[in-house]
Structure 1
């Protein structure tokens, strides 16, 4: 190689050119030849190695090699041989220029570090993509762990590169760097907080990819689509994306709806507000009309008989309805709601079903339905709930009750 690298110098020198210019021209021509040869070699190696990986990925059952090709691991690996050959021939190219030789060697060493980091990054991204295809790991914050490894790798690579450029041994460079640790911690504060938060989120299983979370502080209400070292991405139901700092998951309060999605139903908790002046005791003729309602017919018969028996045995004066035991229209309506809910096909009968009367307010008396829909999908859940309240709002007039609502302009016109 030494003889080949100097034949142009000998040719120029024999033809009367000064040694200084002969050395420069010889170096430039040989450098150009080496660069062209290395580019051709690199091109051939990339085609061969990538082609081999592509063929393997098509024949193999695993998707790991597919992700290797996708993340350009074969392309980066193909650069190793040309880089090694370049480093080998540097002394021959710059044999007459020792200072330039040192600079070129250090440049190639630094590029070798960068190439190594590229290969590591490709492999880590391949591992990340592959692990996300596994059912047991697809909802874990794998991105956070990959980012941590890459940060450490880049930090070590940069330290080693600075050590090569400055000529200071690596351990001495790190010792000197220790004095600036406070500044480094300040610069990487968010990264450190994010790393700690990612570990706590994963260990405590607080959030998984795919969870529906509500984070009022950041205006997030939707599904978690990504968890990485610095941020958590939430796709809201209006298809916008909200980015939340990872450490906010352990420093602030948020709601995770996973418990609901993993349970047997989705809660319905909504009330009808009854006008209090429409509440009354039921007379016998009122009971006669209500007995035509099939859902409560048997209840009214049995309950009416029991009340009549009690009042007769205790000689209750029924000239006033308030005396003794009586049925009220709101009480019968509550029983109707309870029977209707228990018979509804969209309600999970194995979970809590309750119709309760809440504390009266300035607007009226709330009658609340507390139950769980058997279908947890949002659209179906809303349909079931609307179906129930459509029916109850239409049925309430049969009990001579009224739902409270603020007066509208039409009410004032009627007056």
Structure 2
């Protein structure tokens, strides 16, 4: 290039221009020649690199190079060729203008730094898309990792650009940043909190992509679809999207249902309210009728035998049922619920199966069913739970019990 620039200078001298005209004219021609060659190099590099990358991507078995093509990595690399050419040529083209040479060299250096960051970002984006398809990484917050790395690279790039523009040393710049640290922390508080939160979320495995989380504070109830430096995106079950600040996952409480999915079942913990006034002892002549309930036949026979032996030993006066021991309709109902649940095909028999009383209230006695369904899918879980409670509620009248419910128009009246 030096020979070309010297020739343009010699040609202008032959035109018998003054020294200033020759200098400025040669600089203008040199810049035009440089830009023309740079455009040709850019066009050629783009064609060569884009086609080369596309051919390699089609022939290779891995999908990583396909994502490199999709994220236009080859195009950004192609832009680097003419920029480096300009960077090497500018000192020759502007050798007679030291000030402008220094300014253009700084500008091109800054552009090279920014273009390099753009290339690195496209490679990271391709890596992100590739890892999201891998079974071992598709639930990891890859976006957060990439954003943290890119942030440090941007900080390094900005510091380098400032040092270049101010012609200062790194120690001087660090001293200036130290004096402004309070202001810097205030301005970048959310970013710094996001970095800390992203690291803690990933290291402690608090949330993964695909987890079902519930966070009432932000109205979130659905699957995590994205975790990045600043936010966590949740696709709710009504197909709306909730955005949660990443820092809130370590500063506020939320519910992660991952443990339920990885366990052997999904819990049912629900109760019905039995009217206290409907609970009573069972008369002996009623037992034959209750024995017709197949799930209770064997239990009643063994239980009544034990009760009769106890009352005989303790000489209990059976003229009143309160004396000695007797079966109650609520006790038989609880036993029936336990037996029914144990035989239900949708219940996991290896986990806790329990029917219990809770603290009586002004609305009656809560009878709670505590079991785990084998099928953890939401729709099937709801179906199994409804099936169990449909049967239990329908069975209540067979035990001469009543469920509590608030008065409605059908069971209230006004006196005339």
**Whole-Å Cα distance in 2 between the matches of residues 99 and 310 of structure 1?**
112
Alignment of 1:167-206 (within 5 A): 167-206=167-206
How far residue 56 of structure 1 moved from its aligned partner, in angstroms, is: 1.5
What runs of 5+ residues in structure 2 fail to find an aligned partner?
A: none
How far residue 389 of structure 1 moved from its aligned partner, in angstroms, is: 0.3
Q: String of CA shifts for 1:127-155, please: whole Å, max 9, x gaps.
A: 33333333233322232222121111111
SS in 1 for 2:411: helix
Shift in CA distance, 315/168, structure 1 to aligned 2, threshold 3 Å = closer
> Contact 1:337–1:355 at 8 Å: present in 2 too?
yes
- Residue of structure 1 equivalent to 2:163: 163
- Would you say 1:366 and 2:370 are equivalent positions? no
Q: Judge which range, 123-132 or 11-20, deviates more.
A: 11-20
Q: String of CA shifts for 1:53-72, please: whole Å, max 9, x gaps.
A: 22212222222212222222
- Residue of structure 2 equivalent to 1:296: 296
**Whole-Å Cα distance in 2 between the matches of residues 185 and 314 of structure 1?**
80
> Contact 1:197–1:247 at 8 Å: present in 2 too?
yes
- Would you say 1:355 and 2:355 are equivalent positions? yes
**Whole-Å Cα distance in 1 between the matches of residues 301 and 79 of structure 2?**
90
How far residue 379 of structure 1 moved from its aligned partner, in angstroms, is: 0.9
**Whole-Å Cα distance in 1 between the matches of residues 189 and 202 of structure 2?**
20
How far residue 357 of structure 1 moved from its aligned partner, in angstroms, is: 0.9
- Residue of structure 2 equivalent to 1:244: 244
**Whole-Å Cα distance in 1 between the matches of residues 173 and 360 of structure 2?**
74
> Contact 1:147–1:229 at 8 Å: present in 2 too?
yes
Q: Judge which range, 138-147 or 101-110, deviates more.
A: 138-147
Give the CA RMSD over aligned residues: 2.3
> Contact 1:346–1:373 at 8 Å: present in 2 too?
yes
How far residue 23 of structure 1 moved from its aligned partner, in angstroms, is: 4.2
How far residue 396 of structure 1 moved from its aligned partner, in angstroms, is: 0.8
**Whole-Å Cα distance in 1 between the matches of residues 351 and 206 of structure 2?**
25
Alignment of 1:116-131 (within 5 A): 116-131=116-131
Shift in CA distance, 275/31, structure 1 to aligned 2, threshold 3 Å = same
What runs of 5+ residues in structure 1 fail to find an aligned partner?
A: none
Alignment of 1:255-270 (within 5 A): 255-270=255-270
SS in 2 for 1:410: coil
> Contact 1:159–1:174 at 8 Å: present in 2 too?
no
How far residue 255 of structure 1 moved from its aligned partner, in angstroms, is: 1.9
How far residue 122 of structure 1 moved from its aligned partner, in angstroms, is: 2.0
Using the size of structure 2 for normalisation, the TM-score is 0.92
Q: Judge which range, 17-26 or 56-65, deviates more.
A: 17-26
Shift in CA distance, 22/271, structure 1 to aligned 2, threshold 3 Å = same
- Residue of structure 1 equivalent to 2:275: 275
How far residue 84 of structure 1 moved from its aligned partner, in angstroms, is: 1.2
- Residue of structure 1 equivalent to 2:65: 65
- Residue of structure 2 equivalent to 1:87: 87
- Residue of structure 1 equivalent to 2:287: 287
SS in 1 for 2:375: coil
SS in 2 for 1:117: helix
Shift in CA distance, 288/317, structure 1 to aligned 2, threshold 3 Å = same
- Residue of structure 1 equivalent to 2:382: 382
SS in 2 for 1:369: strand
**Whole-Å Cα distance in 1 between the matches of residues 3 and 192 of structure 2?**
55
- Residue of structure 1 equivalent to 2:220: 220
SS in 2 for 1:409: coil
- Residue of structure 2 equivalent to 1:399: 399
- Residue of structure 1 equivalent to 2:51: 51
SS in 2 for 1:163: helix
SS in 2 for 1:190: helix
SS in 2 for 1:242: strand
- Residue of structure 1 equivalent to 2:136: 136
**Whole-Å Cα distance in 2 between the matches of residues 297 and 279 of structure 1?**
21
- Runs of 4 or more, structure 1, over 6 Å off, are none
Q: Judge which range, 104-113 or 241-250, deviates more.
A: 241-250
**Whole-Å Cα distance in 1 between the matches of residues 38 and 131 of structure 2?**
36
**Whole-Å Cα distance in 2 between the matches of residues 47 and 379 of structure 1?**
53
How far residue 167 of structure 1 moved from its aligned partner, in angstroms, is: 2.3
Using the size of structure 1 for normalisation, the TM-score is 0.92
How far residue 315 of structure 1 moved from its aligned partner, in angstroms, is: 4.0
How far residue 44 of structure 1 moved from its aligned partner, in angstroms, is: 1.9
**Corresponding residue pairs, total:** 415
- Residue of structure 2 equivalent to 1:341: 341
Q: Judge which range, 301-310 or 369-378, deviates more.
A: 301-310
**Whole-Å Cα distance in 2 between the matches of residues 103 and 200 of structure 1?**
44
- Would you say 1:234 and 2:234 are equivalent positions? yes
SS in 2 for 1:233: strand
How far residue 126 of structure 1 moved from its aligned partner, in angstroms, is: 2.8
